[in-house]
């Protein structure tokens, strides 16, 4: 039903005015740009072929990118990277959050210091880890100084799958603080008397974790896991600098198609494919934790 502006109460008009900037922002940066990408995905748009720009070609761009030599490998690597990141970061995040939730001397300082990597831009994080993994880098030098290795290891000259693992370390270093702090916050929502009661009843640490802590934080774990999966799946900057601009996951090829090979049609088709995967992930979140439950959860006393 259309809203009649004149019939609105003054407070409602004010409210409408207040949401206008947000509406404008969403329209320009989301609705318009997504529509433009969607349009580009169905037309020929290769900058170096100006004569054919804008010609409708149906699903050709999608077929081209799916048949591209890189597609199969990159999809495989993207899922491997996403899966590894999610499992490792969330598992370690749970461990760190438990540690941070404990009371020990200097816990405030540790909570502060642990956040630092999160404040470092992913581009810089990727580059820092790349430099550390050089044959002449800090890790090799330290290893040789301690006598752990005799010869420098060529981390960056190793196969792609190994390098993906090294890139995971950089991603983990950057993402772990955020996950840990989120999970630590969830820990603090657990009623203290419930934990005390379990302790009085003689429940061991493991049993308390399994039967009290985990049921309380599992929604947050699911949320964080899906979030991290999305972050890993769309990871571009950290991998780009880590690989020296040479390889990456599917997002890298969306960039390469658009800005190295100047085929905006292919780039848009890949972006639409990425968006479909992301939508699937978001749907999974909403299936696990329906919006109503997220809302209720936010107000847990």
Partner 1 sequence: MGEKVSRRDYLKVLGGTVGGLVVGAAIGYLAAPGKVVEKTVERTVTQTVTAVPTVTPTTPAKKVHLDFTVWNYDVEKIKDNVSKFMQKYPHIEVSLYDFNWPDFPTTMVKRFTVGTPTDVTYNGEDWLAQWASAGWVVPLEDLWDQYEVEHPWSFYINDMVPYAKMACTFEGKVYGLPYYSDIFTFIYNERMLKEKGFNPPKDWDEVREQCLEFKKAGIKYPYLLSFEPKDVFAWCNVLSSAYGRGARLFDEDLNPVFDEPDSPFVEQLQWYVDGIHVDKIVDPEWSTMHETIASKKMSAGEAVFCGLCKYNTAAMNTPGSGPEAGNLRVGLMPGKTHEAYGFAKMYNITKMCVNRGREAIQAAITFIEYFGGSRGPVLKRWAVENGLGFGFDSPWEDSDIRNAMEKLYGPGSAEVIRQQAKLAICEPHPVWFGEWNDYVRKECLAKVFTKEITPKECVKLMAEKWNALRKG
The DSSP string of 237-278 is: HHHHHHTTSS--SHHHHHHIIIIIS-BHHHHHHHHHHHHHHH
The contact mask relative to partner 1 for 101-130 (x = CB under 8 A, - = no) is ------------------------------
**Both tokens assigned to 181:** 């702090």
Report, in Å, the least distance between residue 147 CB and partner 1: 20
**Both tokens assigned to 106:** 């200097």
How far is Cα 129 from Cα 169, in angstroms, rounded to an integer?
8
Q: Is residue 10 near partner 1 by the rule CB under 8 A?
A: no
- Of the two residues 68 and 98, which places its CB atom closer to partner 1 in the complex? 68
Residue span binding partner 1 (CB under 8 A) among the ranges 7-15, 33-41, 259-267, 288-296: 259-267
Q: Is residue 50 near partner 1 by the rule CB under 8 A?
A: yes
- Which of 12, 49, 196, 296: binder of partner 1 (CB under 8 A)? 49
Report, in Å, the least distance between residue 223 CB and partner 1: 36
- Which of 189, 245, 294, 296: binder of partner 1 (CB under 8 A)? 245
Helix (H, G, I), strand (E, B) or coil at 152: coil
Q: Which residues, 165 to 224, sit near partner 1 by CB under 8 A? A: none
How far is Cα 225 from Cα 238, in angstroms, rounded to an integer?
19
Q: Is residue 156 near partner 1 by the rule CB under 8 A?
A: yes
Residue of 89, 32, 88, 244 whose CA lies nearest to 156? 244
Q: Is residue 54 near partner 1 by the rule CB under 8 A?
A: no
How far is Cα 301 from Cα 295, in angstroms, rounded to an integer?
13
How far is Cα 175 from Cα 173, in angstroms, rounded to an integer?
6
Residue of 206, 27, 42, 178 whose CA lies nearest to 116? 178
How far is Cα 267 from Cα 20, in angstroms, rounded to an integer?
32
Report, in Å, the least distance between residue 244 CB and partner 1: 6
Q: Is residue 244 near partner 1 by the rule CB under 8 A?
A: yes
| Interacting residues toward partner 1 by CB under 8 A | 47-51, 67-70, 134-136, 154, 156-160, 244-247, 256, 259-262
């Amino acid at each position: 039903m259309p809203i009649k502006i004149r019939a609105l109460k003054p407070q409602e008009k004010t409210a409408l005015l207040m949401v206008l900037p947000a509406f404008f922002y969403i329209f320009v940066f989301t609705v318009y740009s997504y529509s433009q990408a969607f349009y580009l995905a169905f037309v020929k748009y290769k900058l170096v072929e100006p004569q054919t720009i804008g010609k409708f070609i149906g699903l050709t761009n999608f077929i081209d990118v799916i048949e591209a030599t890189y597609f199969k490998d990159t999809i495989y690597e993207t899922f491997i990277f996403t899966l590894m990141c999610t499992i490792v970061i969330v598992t370690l995040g749970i461990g760190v959050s438990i540690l941070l939730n404990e009371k020990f001397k200097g816990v405030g300082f540790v909570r502060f210091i642990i956040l630092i990597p999160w404040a470092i831009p992913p581009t810089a994080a990727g580059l820092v880890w790349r430099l550390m993994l050089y044959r002449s880098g800090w890790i090799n030098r330290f290893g040789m100084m301690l006598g752990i290795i005799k010869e420098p290891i060529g981390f960056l000259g190793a196969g792609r799958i190994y390098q993906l693992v090294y890139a995971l370390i950089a991603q983990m270093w950057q993402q772990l603080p955020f996950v840990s702090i989120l999970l630590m916050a969830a820990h603090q929502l657990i009623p203290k008397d419930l934990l005390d009661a379990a302790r009085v009843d003689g429940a061991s640490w493991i049993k308390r974790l399994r039967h009290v802590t985990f049921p309380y934080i599992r929604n947050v774990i699911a949320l964080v896991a899906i979030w991290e999966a999305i972050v890993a799946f769309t990871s571009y900057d950290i991998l780009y600098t880590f690989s020296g601009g040479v390889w990456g996951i599917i997002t890298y090829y969306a960039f390469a198609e658009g800005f190295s090979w100047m085929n905006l049609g292919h780039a848009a088709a890949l972006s639409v494919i990425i968006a479909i995967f992301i939508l699937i992930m978001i749907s999974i979140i909403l299936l696990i934790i329906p919006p109503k439950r997220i809302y209720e959860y936010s107000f847990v006393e």
